[in-house]
Amino acid sequence: MDSREPPSLRFASLLEEVWRLLADGQRLRQSPFHQAVLATSTARGPSARYVVLRQVDRERGMLGFHTDRRSDKWTEIERDPRVALCFHGHNVQVRVEGRAILHHDDAVADLAWKRTGLMSRRCYLADPAPGTVTPKPTSGLPAHLSKDRPNEAESAGGRVNFGVVIVPLQRIEWLHLAFEGHRRARLARTGAGPWRGEWLVP
Ligand SMILES: Cc1cc2nc3c(=O)[nH]c(=O)nc-3n(C[C@H](O)[C@H](O)[C@H](O)COP(=O)(O)O)c2cc1C
């Protein structure tokens, strides 16, 4: 590559930028990278929904999010672990792909649960399960939790429903939108091998 090109147009810098955006997304609630659209495969075809970015491990090239093990997405990932996540913000779209790993009854899920606040734990107390058809609109939560967060003891009831989905990335696509012309690059790796980049016409 021409050494006069700006650093952001070198693959190594580009990877750094992507991981910085993702790390900010995990840390900062107001970051546009705090949530992503997650795509899974179903018997009907593709399914997409938002999830909150909860874990970013740049060293191992992994992202993670939390979900209810009773949700459709969990079952879909059990059946086909190939997933994609799509982020957009600061004139950049980041698309990532990998084979998800499900954690629910292990140290990874235990640690994530420990770090999950009471308000977030509340989501895992829905009864019946997320996605259940009901005769009227409902949160599925016990009535007193519509105003309050659960206490520690009550929140513990949600642990059995709590799952962590870790996605070791195998493919990252970066699209930068700009008036002078967009730029697009794909970075791919095999297993834990080095990332290799190529430019694409946007
Ligand atoms: C901004 C936003 C963030 C969300 N974050 C999560 C999340 O981190 N985990 C989750 O399971 N659902 C999350 N949801 C709800 C999902 O998008 C989805 O509606 C729900 O999990 C049911 O999906 P499923 O039936 O495909 O499993 C979020 C929704 C929005 C709008």
pLDDT by residue (tens digit) across 33-45? 999 999 999 999 9
Q: At 38, which helix (H) or strand (E)?
A: strand 35-42
**Ligand 1 centre and the CA of 64: distance in Å?**
13
User: Do 175 and 159 touch, CB atoms closer than 8 A?
Assistant: no
| pLDDT (mean) for 13-31 | 97
What is the Cα–Cα distance from 70 to 140, expressed in whole angstroms?
13
For residue 86, give both structure tokens: 């799509």
Q: What is the residue-wise DSSP string for 40-76?
A: EEETTEEEEEEEE--EEETTTTEEEEEEETTSHHHHH
Residue identifier of the C-alpha nearest atom 5 of ligand 1: 51
Q: Which residues pair with 183 in a beta bridge?
A: 176
Q: pLDDT tens digit string along 92-145?
A: 999 999 999 999 999 999 999 999 999 999 999 999 999 999 999 999 999 999
Which of 37, 49, 123, 139 is the pocket-test mutation for ligand 1 (most atoms within 8 Å of CB)? 49
The confidence score (pLDDT) of residue 6 equals 52
| Cβ–Cβ < 8 Å for 166, 174 | no
> What one-letter code names the amino acid at 166?
I
Ligand 1 site residues, Cβ closer than 6 angstroms = 35, 47, 49-52, 65-68, 71-73, 130-131
Report which secondary-structure segment, H or E, holds 109: helix 107-114
Average pLDDT score over residue span 146-152: 92
Residue 1 has pLDDT above 70, yes or no: no
Mutation test residue for ligand 1: of 35, 50, 102, 161, the one with most atoms within 8 Å of CB = 50
Does 128 sit behind a cis peptide bond, omega within 30 degrees of 0 on the bond before it? yes
* 172 CA → ligand 1 middle, Å: 22
- What pLDDT does 103 receive? 98
Cα 132 to ligand 1 centre (Å): 15
Domains of the chain: 7-118+161-200 (2.30.110.10)
**Strand pairing report for 183-188 and 196-200:** antiparallel
CB-based burial of residue 128 (10 Å sphere; 0-12 exposed, 13-18 middle, 19+ buried)? exposed
pLDDT of residue 183: 95
pLDDT digits (tens, 9 = 90+) for 170-179: 999 999 999 9
Q: What confidence score (pLDDT) does residue 153 get?
A: 95
Which pLDDT does position 8 carry in this prediction? 57
- Closest atom of ligand 1 relative to the 68 alpha carbon: 11
Cα–Cα dist 101/74, whole Å: 10
Q: What does the alpha-carbon distance between residue 185 and residue 137 come to, in Å, rounded to a whole number? A: 44
Which of 4-8, 9-13, 149-153 reaches the highest mean pLDDT? 149-153
d(CA 11, CA 17): 10
Q: Which atom, in ligand 1's list, is nearest to the CA of 74?
A: 27
Mean pLDDT of the chain: 95
Name the percent of the chain lying above pLDDT 90. 93
